Amino acid sequence: MSRFQIRVPATSANLGPGFDSVGIALSKYVTLDCQPADEWFFSVPEEDQPYIPSGKNNLIYKTALFTAEAMGHEDLPPTYVQLENDVPIARGLGSSSTAVVGGIELADHLLDLGLSRYEKFKIACEIEGHPDNVGPAIFGGIMVSNYDGEHLDYVHFTEGMDDLTWLAIIPDYHLETEKARGLLPVEIEYKQAVNNSGSANVLVAALATKNWALAGKMMQSDRWHQPYRQILIPGFSSFKDILEKEHSLGHYISGAGPTTVALFDEWDEDKRERLEVALEDYQVEPLQVNLSGAETLVLTPEK
Ligand code: HSE
């Protein structure tokens, strides 16, 4: 087996009312540099070591093994995996999805499984439970999908997004998805649900027709999850004025938070500098869409 590299993009899920269903792949990456070894080892960047195990309890390994077993294999060839991580952990930018998708790619390459992207997506949904992060991490672009535990349906958009900037406003604290999901109501009133579903429908239609201004407006119309989660993201309510002043089309809590993502169709360095000053307590990163999704690159030829 040759040395190979797997690269998985960060993702931003929900885009407002597209809760558990809509997501986009963004230009931040986890990279796995892989080579044959006598035993499994994940070399983890120092700052991530408290959160990412280096042995077989690593989520990448567990997912790779799950994938192998699902395809009728008992084991995986031991591999040394050097991890480079530009996706902050537990901030709403799909870090756990990068591990899940990275693990599936790893098994696919090590065992030459030849999985289709749809098969990878299905395995990832079984592990993650909802498709909105893993879908774009595998396919790139914007993914609209639904998974009910058995059936997986999706529509994938990749066109017309080159000039958009997705500004990630990243706080310096972690927020576990489980905690942010724990704040959501068990039931929602019928009339409210119809209204929420209408907002989500308009969001998706706006994304599909590249009506970015309307998509931005819909991002802010969400009532499925953002009103309940803001209590855990104290800065969120202060972003509106700052972002509107810079002509952002709209903003939303990325995934389960605490990162906020704001959409811009016009961007320049002056705007970046002003926003860095106005949002000085945050890591502010202007990102682009990633269109290719997860990729595996062979670094040395087979002998
Ligand atoms: N749709 C998910 C949520 C994304 O908002 O909880 C995080 O996994």
- Judgement on whether residues 186 and 269 belong to the same structural domain of the protein: yes
C-alpha span between 235 and 239 (Å, rounded): 7
C-alpha span between 209 and 22 (Å, rounded): 15
Q: Provide the number of structural domains found in the chain.
A: 2
Give pLDDT, residue 301: 63
- Judgement on whether residues 282 and 147 belong to the same structural domain of the protein: no
List of the chain residues with pLDDT < 70: 301-303
Q: Are 251 and 239 in contact (CB under 8 A)?
A: yes
293 in a labelled binding site? no
Q: Is 303 part of a structural domain of the chain?
A: no
The range of the structural domain enclosing residue 152 comes to: 4-157+290-298
Atom of ligand 1 nearest to the CA of 225: 5
205 in a labelled binding site? no
188 in a labelled binding site? no
Distance in Å from the first CA to the final CA of the chain: 8
Ligand 1: which residue has its CA nearest to atom 4? Answer: 255
- Judgement on whether residues 181 and 61 belong to the same structural domain of the protein: no
Give pLDDT, residue 299: 86
- Judgement on whether residues 281 and 294 belong to the same structural domain of the protein: no
* pLDDT tens-digit readout, 86-114: 999 999 999 999 999 999 999 999 999 99
Ligand 1: which residue has its CA nearest to atom 3? Answer: 256
Atom of ligand 1 nearest to the CA of 14: 1
